Amino acid sequence: MSVLNKSNPAGLTLLVLAATLLGIGANLLDTKTSSQPHVILFVIDDQGYSDIGYQKKDFASLSPALDAAAHDGIKLTSYYTQEQCTPARASLLTGKYPSSVGMQVKTPDLTEPWGVPLQYTMLPEVLKYMGYKTHAVGKWHLGFSKLGYLPEYRGFDFFAGYYSRKEDYYDHTATTRTGHYYNDLHEGMSNNYDISSYSADIYSLKVHQILEEHDNTEPLFLYYSNQLMHAPLELPPDHYFSDEDLETLTYDIDSDDNAFTDGGRTAVAKMLRATDRVFEKMVESLKSKGMYDDSIIIVMSDNGGCPYYSGYNVPLRGHKNTVYEGGVRVNAFIHSPLLPKSVLGEYPHLFHISDIFPTILEGFLGYAPEALGTASAKFLDGMDQFPALLDSSLSGPRTELLHNVKVESYAVDSDNSNYTHLFPTVGLRTSIGGRSLKLVHGHGSGMGQTYAIGDSMVVGIDTEMNLCEDLSMYELGDFEDVWSYIYSPASQVFDIDGDMEEVYNLAEEVADAVMDELWQRADHYWDVSAPSALAYGDNSAFQVFADNHYYLCPWQEMSDEDWAAVEGRGPAEGVMWTPVERTATVHF
């Protein structure tokens, strides 16, 4: 059980004790400040591996601010996330693998009543106990069917953004998978009626306001979760671009063709340029407020790019929604004036998104070892990367990481009553005999292509699978046998250190003992995984949304158990929506 679990009061006592032992001077950061540093997580949505300037592909000149910050920081060249946004964000904010918190399967639709289970504590809640002011701006997508799932009940003092997987950049409507449209723009515990501005404008202005109004004597945690560069491919306003940009990026997007066309790729290029501008604006605001020198900024994509929306992961195989490298290996870097110049450059060691939680708490914030002891290894899947980040003579703490372990089911009947098409997935990387081997199982042939500019996007999903109506079989027998029974494709094994493109399948070449060891590790993660929190659509949400001026909002009652889980976390019990008129148009 997590020492930070809300059901464990002793864990909270330990947390308070640990908070009293913080001290920047105790770690290897330059001692430029005696206070706790400001921490900013800048998350880019659906940015492909090559969708940034410093990868020197077709976007080489389009992200100068991000490129400069990466150059003057630490590039995490073996950084791994999850294959979808909800599992990735759950892992980032809990420090756990998605399968450890029940968030390993799919992403919640607008009327699906599930989110990160309330018993799990998130990073902002921990930082809040330490005296941080905590803010979230942009995309949430970790549940909103109950009040307890909202950001304000997960440790954030303030939230401005949207709850769903994606929304229109201009009118801020989100769409259910069944085609229903609802407004999805919120500020605090209220609807936001500003529907005339590009969303990046709104969020950039809100971040600027947060920084301007912040008391510099208090540490700040900002979770800046960009809508950019996720679909729909809606072009940013011209004020994001220089005259040279506008001359270079001249193609218009054809909304009926989002594949690798000049129009689609040009739209992504413009969205990257806008992403770079809002990052630059944030850094400028930090500097003007006198906060930059005491800030740690961590930049990352939440998952790989979507080739069907012109995302570009070359040379990596696969894309978002797969556990091939193109779905889970993304760009990330740490930028901070607090970092010694001697450590700037590339960090080649395995780094998982869950590692950010302990690296911030134990490393950058200077947890005394006697405060946590070995607790972090018990309640987090993430590992503290800080010592190796600051000392190149050390190896990274990871020799293994789990990409995911899950079984998904999809509706066969149009009324969503029969879920018998099953899609199992496993992705695991571990060190065996000095080789960094990766096991992939459950992906059809069409899910593992490498798409380059000029390719047409035709996804050929392997539909040869067995059907199984008895879902209880998941609890029976050996993991490999169960999955082989459900789904036909054979396992794939890659040596990532020598084949990051995943071209050479070694499954028939590695020794049986090696394959057995890979599956034993997969069995382990299956055995310790939490039940999926996934719940299918609840039609009672529609009327509640309609009553709330067709804005998304919580629609299910909190149980006594739910209230007990969030006790002390959020606003007063029973607080609901307070519609606030907002009509001002904002510009970057």
Catalytic positions:
85, 141
How far from the centroid of its chain's Cα atoms is residue 386's Cα? Answer: 20
Strand 133-139, strand 220-225: pairing: parallel
Cα-Cα-Cα-Cα dihedral sign, residues 224, 225, 227, 229: positive
Contacts for 206-211: CB closer than 8 Å, 24+ residues apart: 206/137, 206/160, 207/137, 207/278, 207/281, 207/282, 207/285, 208/281, 208/282, 208/285, 210/135, 210/137, 210/158, 211/282, 211/285, 211/286, 211/289, 211/291
Q: Of 441, 471, 404, give the one whose Cα is nearest residue 104.
A: 404
Q: Of 325, 317, 328, 330, give the one whose Cα is nearest residue 446.
A: 317
CA distances from 78 to 49, 51, 336, 398, 507 (A): 11, 16, 20, 11, 23
- Crossing angle of helices 64-71 and 262-288, rounded to 10°: 60
Residues, the chain, total?
588
- Crossing angle of helices 512-528 and 479-486, rounded to 10°: 90
- CA angle in degrees (0–180, nearest 5) for 531-102-138: 160
Helical (H) or strand (E) element with 421: strand 421-432
**Residue 134 amino acid letter:** T
Find residue 139's DSSP bridge partners.
162
